[in-house]
Amino acid sequence: DGGITQSPKYLFRKEGQNVTLSCEQNLNHDAMYWYRQDPGQGLRLIYYSQIVNDFQKGDIAEGYSVSREKKESFPLTVTSAQKNPTAFYLCASSLGTPGETQYFGPGTRLLVL
Amino acid sequence: DAKTTQPTSMDCAEGRAANLPCNHSTISGNEYVYWYRQIHSQGPQYIIHGLKNNETNEMASLIITEDRKSSTLILPHATLRDTAVYYCIVRVAIGGAQKLVFGQGTRLTINP
């Protein structure tokens, strides 16, 4: 099946620990995105990548890092510098050309212990 | 970036048309209007988008006013499964990618 997968569905982090969220797509999309959603709020853009080996900061990049070594994969690391990491994290992808729709994965819920 | 304004919540009876309004009075000429919906604890689902013409697909219709300052999403025959938070979003191109500017959305409840 074609689509976007995120793993794990739930993730627990201890204080001071880095954790990495996985995002994979087999849609042959060039652009990939990470968003954060807090309870009762809309989504906010963390990072995005238009092509392999290139990525840009979004609106709330502090405390996060990403890599884009393969077209299909765009992992997000939540570092210990992110002071309030508890949130719902959503990955999305699009063809990357103007006018193309962005499609979302099922999300990962991160909880700090 | 253009911002959108939506009612916080709406109710609609099952089988009736659900009309969800959105104001985007500061939208610029090259910004698209997108609608997504999100069922609790799931990723947003794409519904429809448009630039200036009305659009229709198998899920919904999108009516955009001539001055493009507002739009309405129409679900023609709402079912209980349409209960969700609906986001009206302005999409801004950032190079070859896009930026979706989300607000808080409208919580639509379909009542039996």
E-strand ranges in chain B read 9-13, 18-23, 32-38, 45-50, 55-56, 61-64, 70-75, 84-94, 97-101, 106-111
Give the per-residue pLDDT at B92: 75
pLDDT in the model for residue A2: 64
Contact B20, B37 (CB under 8 A): no
Cα(B72)–Cα(A25) distance, integer angstroms: 32
User: Residues of A with CB below 8 A from B105's CB?
Assistant: 42
Q: Tens digits of per-residue pLDDT, A2-53?
A: 699 999 999 998 888 999 999 999 999 999 999 999 988 889 999 999 889 9
Contact B98 A106 (CB under 8 A): no
In the prediction, which pLDDT does A91 show? 97
Cβ neighbours for A110, distance < 8 A, ≥ 6 positions apart: A11, A12, A13, A19, A21, A78, A85, A86, A87, A88, A89
What is the pLDDT at residue A98?
Answer: 58
Out of A6, A97, A107, closest to residue B96 by CB: A97
pLDDT digits (tens, 9 = 90+) for A54-87: 999 999 999 999 999 999 999 999 998 888 999 9
B30 vs A62 pLDDT, higher one: A62
User: Given this model, what pLDDT does residue B94 score?
Assistant: 67
The answer to whether the Cβ–Cβ distance between B96 and A50 falls below 8 Å is yes
In this predicted structure, the answer to whether residue A1 has a pLDDT above a threshold of 60 is no
Predicted confidence at residue B90, as pLDDT, reads 86
Q: Give the model's pLDDT for residue A99.
A: 58
B75-111 pLDDT per residue, tens: 999 999 999 999 999 887 766 667 788 888 999 999 9
Residue A95: its pLDDT value, please? 86
Cα(A6)–Cα(A92) distance, integer angstroms: 10
Bridge partners (DSSP) listed for residue A77: A20, A65
Of A6, A42, A98, the CB nearest to B103: A42
Among candidate residues B110, B111, B108, B109, the one with its CA nearest the CA of residue B21: B108
CB B86 within 8 Å of CB B35: yes
Which of B42, B95, B104 comes nearest A106 by C-beta? B42
Sign of dihedral through CA atoms B22, B26, B29, B35?
negative
At B29 the pLDDT is 83
Do A15 and A84 meet the contact criterion of CB atoms below 8 Å apart? Answer: no
* Chain B residues within 8 A of A56 when measuring between CB atoms: 94, 97
B31-78 pLDDT, tens per residue? 889 999 999 889 999 999 999 989 999 999 999 999 999 999 999 999
* Torsion angle of C-alpha atoms B15, A40, A92, A14, degrees rounded to 10: -140
